[in-house]
A and B are shown apart, each in its own frame.
Chain A
């Protein structure tokens, strides 16, 4: 894929016209005449000269690619007696005036200058650099070793070094006679200019759609496991949020808002041309990524038709490059620490709370034998968080060798990666082992074959503390925060002698409170997710005609995931209090995905004003998935581990197997007139096995127009505008994220539907899904208007896009009335819209020889709206299954005319104070008649109880007083990068933010509650209402009536984060050379360095149990880590 891209780009460039035109000429020792003819062929420019002049000129060798006409002319005429002028498409040659050497005066001593030019990055010598004495026509070129010599140069003159693809440099000549060493930097702008789009690539200037590209140089400075972890804030319109801090946890990426209500909104990934719907991004080594381009508008995504509606992320990995073998090593090592631990009550506050709660046996435990609350003031706390969290190591080692063998026309790369990340919670880790080999072979002039193979093994260890199990007491952090911080001083009943090493807490009833020693659980729960992934991609490329190329690719992507779980007697589910006993399971998930693509690319410049580039392809893709495994409870001998499974009570595992196929035809035409008017039209047809009969095929058209204003003659006066382009696009894309057989009725024999007759079990066959045969694609129509501006010689670049998306025929997992006998079915029903603005801005603030400062900034706004749901339906409410008491309490609401995923509940009004009550003669308090209840019966409400707002004024707070209480998605988000270079130092500082989204801090429902005996609470609960402390809004212990959500636990989730800071030092070439290295850079990087937020939980970037309907939920989330590493980049 990448190769097509490069070739296509070259073709496009050859045919460019106008001053931005690029040429490629490679000739050895030929006459100028021959070169001029070649130039004429490529550009259509005419030459005007006297034939005799050329006889005076010497022969020239030239090998330049992507050079401008001027560069080529300058190169050819260096040291020739000729000079030139370009007059309206004609190159007029003339003889140089024979300049007399300046009169030699006694004061002027001419010197001979020599030196060497190298590539600043690779330290390799550069052959053919033009070296000119500024203000004269004198000059030379460097030889193959990068060396040059000039005689008779006046000290103080300035030498100009220039070469295609590099930034020119000027060096002043002194009379010291020392050799002049010059290193040239790559011209980043040129490199970034190629954008990979679907089935091809274009230069950014020729782009008609909305495509954002990641600046890989910045991104690779973040020490992360996978690229998506570093993607947040990098690109406008791309919202990235990770669920929690666990190594390997899921990351949600949403491009330009959620289209689907119940279905997956994640983008389509195209990895080296291979479309994958839900890839495991941890399988890719971030170091191995060459580029990431994100297609956003319909013009760009429609080429992926039925799967393009959520946007497309194109990841291209590094491929072999021409040249001598280069060995590169990148490695780092460092440490991670939890960003924040939660403060819990001190021993004194803990005991005080137990006394206040009137715990039944407190006089036998904490306050036995005359011990008072005060006695706990000086007792040190057991810090469970400190025992659970650790400073965890992280190391990454990547080695690659790449180069080409000229003789056999072979390019090769071999690379390997070892990545090891310990989790900050004990006994959790992530490891990656990867090897890759890629080869490209040219056969003759027209044929090329190549491909790559990659094997990756990732291993993720450790329990997931945030798994929503239906009971909040099962989550690891419940036990961490809640476990008793102190032992009773002098108890009169037997209590754990060593609470730190015993599994259970003797003071609680293990059948109703599932608290267990968190350290033992974390140490003993064995969880391993072992993924083995093999990718093999092959291609054949054949130039049928000069302008027409055929490329055939075949690829295979196989993943085998084995999930092992073992629970011994010291774990949550295997302990003796649990019904399952010692238990274990091994599960296998196997996915095989294959792809065949056949692409024709046609490139033609029709005349000097018209260019056409067209692509057509026929592709086929298929996927096969299988699941099976074994599981057993009551394993008699835990020392056997998983080997003991056959000895236990076998649990029924129902194997699964599914497959899908997709056949597609697509075509796209780019048509350019005068380099000013750019047209793109694309069309794709997709046929999918997920749909049936007449709905199997669907068609996705798109069109775009771009106008490069800056190429218009009338713009020439506006010198400060270097580049200006206006873009408009429209198109239709689809979404097919439903199960493989959603159109089929389903009959199952689940373990819950057996029936016993006289205690003999019979399997029961039951209907589990109703056929939905008419299903078809979900369609998204998107309009995009954008402008790209380059100002002041492209030192300021601005891109602004406005988009509006309308998604219709939503694939909605729609509720069915229970009278059908079914719960839900997929239907094409419902409608959503998303509208937004994105802004990207990059500037070069300072650019001097020694100091460079550049900045880039992006911000995105999106507004989503639900326009229709299934029949009759006004809203969808969603509950979270984090706790059994809350399992049916709606927390989110998605209403017609409003955004997705809003939080829903009561408005919290603090607590009832004494003045809300009448005091009776017997001292009891009775709520005044005009004060609304909080849902509890009026007689039971006491001062200090939580108070909610009675919205309908009926003096009773109940379900009718629920309202929207929070926004699940941000108002805007973005990122801000600064790059500084001072001499050999480089500094990168990256900020990222999210603003205006709310979070549900469900942790506080358990830890600012005070209704469970001997359960420690957050330190914030010390400020609860008590008769002595009435000036507070925190309810009294046990004053939280009922199980409801309110604004009390809805918090502002906005944050600004100093996400990445990286400081590097590159050894000077001379020093590196002494070490026999081409480059050597040391750096120190930090991730998640500082976060500014008002969120009281451990981290505001959290989304437990995430879906478009349920964003921003926090309960027992794995804490996020701050990572600081020291690294080394070497090449030799």
Chain B
């Protein structure tokens, strides 16, 4: 009896005592673990492309940052009424999808960069190439943090890959610390990456890109909320480095900059850094963006494969339209002079019809890939243009030394290209105002206006004036734009931390007013 019971119990214990370790070990077959990756140059370059991927994502500069997050300022409004909520209406809450996906994608990019940086040392590859990769990864991570700090203020600062699903709580670091990290990383990156000439294209981060963005970072630190005026000097120095490198010149033809974007031509001399979109999404990949589609001239084409389809989400304010002088070649390129019907036929808009004018910087007729996709375009988006660097140089030089010849030279380079003559503004304050207006004229619809207004500390005032403008000039069907601007309050200086973060991260604290 006992023997039999033993025989019966034995099989139950058998697997426990004998090692079926091997039988029960099944490693992934068709995907790899990060631990088994980053072994060579090929794998490292794929990982780096994965970090870049965030830059042109639809939730980022591939569409939403310029087209939706920056859509409603004093230079443009969101001219589509069917979305009742969103940042472009200043009607959103902690669960808003736009806000959430911006936050999500930036931290996904940071995680990708962190993992690459943490594993880079083990790769068997040429060390100089490794350092170039390291520089790009450091820069991109810092750039993602820069975006976060611009939109949210204090944010969690994570410099190592996530380690465990159970250890996920992380507190926010003060914006100042985040900025310090950004600056440190970018400065290091600047020593590692290649020069713009060596790189030769706009899609890869070069020394000029790092320097130009550093100027932008320092300008931001000099303004709201840190208001560290000592940083103007740093901004000036970095912008000046770009200019003095001699590697960059403005494209003599303003409109060609944007035609190049649509036509897949890269001109790193003007466009120092671009978010690259590719293909039409009709192909095997999904790397097209929405530049020229959401923010193109409204054209609900039935034959979009030939003509292209566009929603016209972004339209000009009167302020922007009338900032341009009559000789300024930029106005009638940046802002449409026509409407389009479903067949793609253009009709000139009445001179009085200002609010009916869409952003027209990127026009689908210049795309070279055929057939066109209804919603996705191959157009790149400019992350940093030389014109922006020159205006940052003029702005910071003015803040540090007043409207010196250097400041004037930088400003006038931009003006001259637009067909305007040199300015002769003497006062520092006047020069400051001129730069602010020039930035709108030159860089409108490029996703820079809202952060600019905020760092200048004039965002609330500017939106109040915009509301008044719409109250005064808009038709009843456009009056919602006034409501949008009127919605703006103190709390809109910063986005709310998304609900998906606050509900799962015990250590996070919400922004004031949300």
Contacts and interface: CB of A to CB of B under 8 A. Distances in A.
Interface of A: 509-512, 547-548, 577, 579-581, 598, 600, 602, 614-618, 620, 633-634, 649-652, 655-667, 669, 683-685, 687-689, 696-697, 740-741, 744-749, 751-759, 761-767, 770-772, 774, 814-823, 825-827, 870-874, 888, 935, 937, 959, 1042
Given A748-B31, A818-B500, A618 B11 contact: yes
A598 B110 CA distance: 52
Contacts of A871: 168-169, 504, 506
Nearest to B504: A817
Nearest to A662: B24
Contacts of B110: 821
A511 B304 contact: yes
Interface string B20-50: 1001111111111111010000010111011
B483 A937 contact: yes
B15 A687 contact: yes
A657 B31 CA distance: 9
A818 B49 contact: no
Contacts of B24: 661-663, 687-689, 696
A154 to B, nearest CB: 58
Contact of B282 (A580, A689, A770): A580
B104 interface: yes
Contacts, number: 281
B426 interface: no
A616 B8 contact: yes
Contacts of B32: 746-747
Contacts of B97: 888
A620 to B, nearest CB: 7
Contacts of A510: 302
A751 B286 contact: yes
A685 B16 CA distance: 8
Q: Point out which of A617, A689, A774 has the most chain B C-beta atoms below 10 A from its C-beta.
A: A689
Nearest to A510: B302
B31 A746 contact: yes
Contacts of A758: 201-203, 266, 276
B23 A663 contact: yes
A666 to B, nearest CB: 6
B29 A774 contact: no
B16 A665 contact: yes
B301 to A, nearest CB: 7
B377 to A, nearest CB: 12
B53 A764 contact: yes
B107 interface: yes
B9 interface: yes
Given A600-B7, A746-B28, A757 B204 contact: yes
Nearest to B301: A511
B10 interface: yes
Interface stretch (B158-166, B181-189, B247-255, B385-393): B158-166
B12 interface: yes
B382 to A, nearest CB: 15
Contacts of A766: 50, 53, 108, 112
A816 B504 contact: yes
B262 interface: no
Interface in B279-320: 279-287, 300-302, 304-305, 309
A707 B286 CA distance: 66
Nearest to A689: B26
Interface of B: 4-5, 7-16, 20, 23-35, 37, 43, 45-47, 49-53, 56, 84, 93, 95, 97, 100, 103-104, 107-108, 110-112, 114-115, 156, 158, 161-162, 164-166, 168-170, 201-204, 264, 266, 276-287, 300-302, 304-305, 309, 342, 371, 373-374, 378, 483, 498, 500-501, 503-506, 508
Q: Point out which of A687, A757, A771 has the most chain B C-beta atoms below 10 A from its C-beta.
A: A757
Given A746-B31, A753-B53, A664 B309 contact: no
Contacts of B503: 815, 872-874
A620 B11 CA distance: 12
A793 B382 CA distance: 88
A747 B33 contact: yes
A650 B110 CA distance: 33
29 contacts: A547-B4, A579-B371, A652-B285, A662-B24, A663-B20, A665-B16, A667-B8, A687-B20, A688-B24, A689-B25, A746-B33, A755-B53, A761-B278, A764-B46, A766-B50, A766-B53, A766-B108, A774-B166, A815-B503, A817-B500, A817-B505, A817-B508, A818-B104, A818-B107, A819-B158, A821-B162, A870-B504, A871-B168, A872-B506
A467 B309 CA distance: 27
Given A510-B302, A579-B281, A937-B483, 17 more contacts: A511-B300, A600-B8, A617-B11, A649-B282, A652-B284, A655-B30, A656-B30, A663-B24, A665-B14, A740-B26, A764-B51, A819-B158, A819-B501, A821-B108, A821-B161, A871-B504, A1042-B84
Nearest to B483: A937
A544 to B, nearest CB: 9
B285 A509 contact: no
A755 B276 CA distance: 7
Contacts of B373: 579
Contacts of A669: 8
Nearest to B283: A649
B45 to A, nearest CB: 7
A97 B104 CA distance: 99
Contacts of B14: 618, 665
Q: Point out which of B13, B53, B161, B506 has the most chain A C-beta atoms below 10 A from its C-beta.
A: B53
Contacts of B161: 821
Nearest to A512: B300
Nearest to B505: A817
Nearest to A753: B53
B204 A633 contact: no
A755 B282 contact: no
Nearest to B11: A618
Contact of A767 (B8, B56, B112): B112
Nearest to A936: B84
A666 B264 CA distance: 66
Contact of B165 (A740, A767, A827): A827
A872 B508 CA distance: 11
Nearest to A653: B284
Contacts of B111: 767, 820-822
B284 A651 contact: yes
A510 B504 CA distance: 42
A649 B170 CA distance: 46
Contact of A872 (B104, B374, B504): B504
B151 to A, nearest CB: 14
A820 B373 CA distance: 34
A696 B5 CA distance: 27
B4 A602 contact: yes
B35 A745 contact: yes
B350 to A, nearest CB: 21
Contacts of B280: 579
A762 B33 contact: no
A754 B8 CA distance: 57
Nearest to A746: B31
B464 to A, nearest CB: 20
Given A744-B28, A764-B53, A818-B500, A667 B12 contact: yes
Contacts of B29: 657-659
Given A512-B300, A663-B20, A754 B278 contact: yes
Contacts of B34: 745, 747, 767
Q: Point out which of B11, B93, B373, B508 has the most chain A C-beta atoms below 10 A from its C-beta.
A: B11
Given A761-B287, A763-B46, A747 B31 contact: yes
A1121 B30 CA distance: 42
Contact of B49 (A659, A687, A744, A763): A763
A667 B9 contact: yes
A-B pairs with the 6 shortest C-beta distances? A821-B111, A756-B278, A764-B50, A817-B505, A689-B26, A764-B49
Q: Point out which of A620, A667, A820 has the most chain B C-beta atoms below 10 A from its C-beta.
A: A820
A959 B93 contact: yes
